[in-house]
Copies of this chain bind each other. A is one copy, B any other.
């Protein structure tokens, strides 16, 4: 056990893309615990696009991280000291310890993990928040039916890759949008997507149209921006758009130039009878058991797969996070903080 607690705090709020200067690595004493508490040592830290929102002061569905505070984040942690009879030393738990080596918890909200059931890092990915985001958003809002066409962007990420695979299991024609030939090949050959498109291709919109000869019935929105612009004219009557993320616009500091296309969107919603609905995973918290049951079974049966993109060392979390927002990750972004 190291004798300091390294932690990464928000040094300043980003304007546009976050830079390394927006973060600061600090050290503090390892905290001590009192009755009922446990000391957690972080093994895995999850990096997720929603954290970009927490860095801004703007109101969203969660309160921002304050400047000077430890960055928020889900973790897989090990109990290294315990004055709580429910948690013995050595236990592995899903926690929300943030970007730091150690955290204190009274045990509330911790979930015990069993390494014999699945690698514990999956509690941050396919069996965790990103997986449940994909599962609940697709099934509740997307409502896939056999023969329909589903398009998902950021398709090689932890949410998108599961969205596409579940849609495939539901009988959809699945089209994934990702950055670069390597990710596209992975989606087709390893995950069974019917078609993939590299959003960096100059004829991206034309390729998307060719990949969707029957139009688009479900567009699982992770990115916004230019991808949305290409998807929008292809949406079929009664198409559903679960709005899960808008990573392409998280760093924007102003609105795009005009004209204002809002009336065009509203007209399409009306005449095509579209459904656009935003959600976050906790809106469907009551569906956790079905999620674990279904995705667990598909995983065990080899019907779905996942990929992790691991960065070694807490000190490298800022660069991994910045890279992820640019699409440099290939799979679920994790930081191995200790082992």
Is A269 an interface residue, CB under 8 A from the partner? yes
**Is the C-beta of A51 less than 8 angstroms from some C-beta in chain B?**
no
Known contacts A255-B259, A260-B256, A273-B280, A266 near B61 by CB under 8 Å: no
- Kindly list chain B residues whose C-beta atoms are within 8 Å of the C-beta of A270: 243-246, 278
Distance in angstroms between the alpha carbons of A259 and B260 in the assembled complex: 6
Contacts A61-B237, A278-B274 hold; do A263 and B252 have CB atoms under 8 A apart?
yes
The answer to whether A276 touches B267, judged by C-beta atoms less than 8 angstroms apart, is no
By a CB distance below 8 angstroms, the chain B residues around A265 are 262, 265
Report which of B237, B266, B277 forms a contact with A243, defined as CB distance below 8 A: B266
**Closest CB in chain B relative to A81 CB, distance in Å:** 38
A328 contacts chain B at the CB level, 8 A cutoff: no
Report the nearest B residue to A273, measured CB to CB.
B278
The contact of A277 among B228, B274, B280, by CB within 8 Å, is B274
Residue A339 at the chain B interface, CB threshold 8 Å: no
A277: B residues at CB distance < 8 A: 269, 273-277
Q: In the complex, A47 Cα to B222 Cα: how many Å?
A: 42
- Check: A200 CB closer than 8 A to any chain B CB: no
Which residue on B lies nearest to A258, using beta carbons? B258
Nearest B residue (CB) for A270:
B278
Inter-subunit contact B278/A271 (CB<8 Å): yes
Top 5 closest A-B pairs, CB basis?
A: A258-B258, A255-B259, A270-B278, A269-B278, A275-B277
Interface: A32 (CB within 8 A): no
